[in-house]
Structure 1
Amino acid sequence: MDRAGDVLDLRFEPREERGLRVFVRAVWQAVTLADTISGNDASGGGGTYVVTRRSDGSEVVRVDVSHDEIGATRLHLEAQLAELTPEEFAATWSRSEEQP
């Protein structure tokens, strides 16, 4: 039986920034090299986790996160990708998106 992680990919998309924030982020990256770690968001702006099907690249789920939620959300998504089937993963996230 396939696990969701066998057929789905998880990636992080940082929030888009403009102007002074872009400059500050570039300086911060140069000093700390923090963005060399996958899924790290040194800007403090948060972003979105996107889960897609490997077979065709279609999007299964998008999860918006604040900077403080990045690590915990990634761990939660990775655990579910390792434990659930693709159908269970999709059903779980479609139900969670419907809740107010």
Structure 2
Amino acid sequence: MVDPLAELDIDVQSFDIPRIVSVYPDRAGVRWWTKAWFNNHEEGEMSVEIDKDSAIRFIQDRIEKDKWLEEFFPKQMEIYHNAIEQTKEQLLKQQNY
């Protein structure tokens, strides 16, 4: 598939939506959680309980951030993908004028 935006002189990174994710244990180190922040919102999403092995794989960079977010924050990632797609469509419309 050819990227229709490939020839545009646009910094696509500036149109990306910031996504931050963290994993952390409870004080006893028994239960693990993941939390995400989208679009620099201060409060972030509700934490999701995860298993320790998954947390360790994420910490060791054996799971990509976006794959992690897709698994634990699917609704937010759907919104993210829709927003990126809308931005691409708007850029393409601007190029046609």
Q: TM-score, normalised by structure 1?
A: 0.39
Higher RCO by CA contacts (8 Å cutoff, separation 6 or greater): 1
More helix by share: 1
Q: TM-score, normalised by structure 2?
A: 0.40
